[in-house]
Amino acid sequence: MTDIAIDEVFPHAREKVWRALTTAELIGRWLMAPTGFAPVVGNRFTFQTKAAGAWDGRIRCEVLEVVPNERLVYSWRSGDAGNVGYGAPLDTVVAWTLADAAGGTRVRIVHSGFALPKNETAYANMSDGWKKVVRNLDALSGDET
């Protein structure tokens, strides 16, 4: 299994970053609009992206852990067994961890569980994608949200 890990320091208070991570409307501004999201363990929600082959583009998630202003973890499942490459079955976990840092908040995201080579395309695309998402989250966290 292979992981994507990004570690950044944002010049914002943890509470502001947490709000951007856990408010459905704000998530839609830095990632994708979720359907049914709530920061409650056991809550199931979805994201919708571009379909690929037999995959309908739906990402099915479940909140696995919530520690306010510190940690948010959710499953990230998508793809279809009929697809090879992008759209292949993906059964992964996204973990956000926030900690105090000089001048702001350390934000660490680990998207874990990529099975290579089956998930190679998703891993490559999402490695770049999460970097952009983190920049978007930083910018939004600095807004008066």
Domain ranges within the chain, ordered by starting residue: 2-142
pLDDT at residue number 9: 97
pLDDT at 33: 96
| Angle between helix 120-142 and helix 14-22 axes, rounded to 10 deg | 130
Q: Which residues contact 126 (CB under 8 A, 6 or more apart)?
A: 4, 111
* Burial bucket for residue 132 (CB in 10 Å: 0-12, 13-18, 19+): exposed
Residue type, 19: R
Cα–Cα distance for residue pair 78/127, rounded to 1 Å? 16
Number of Cβ within a 10 Å radius of residue 22: 19
What's residue 34's pLDDT? 98
Report the share of the chain in percent with pLDDT over 90. Answer: 85
pTM over 0.85: yes
Q: What is the pLDDT of residue 106?
A: 98
List, for the chain, all residue ranges whose pLDDT scores fall below the cut of 50: 145
Please compute Rg for the chain using Cα positions.
15
The fold adopted by the segment(s) 2-142 is Alpha-D-Glucose-1,6-Bisphosphate; Chain A, domain 4 (3.30.530)
For residue 45, the model assigns a pLDDT of 98
Confidence (pLDDT) at 144: 53
Percent of the chain with pLDDT over 70: 99
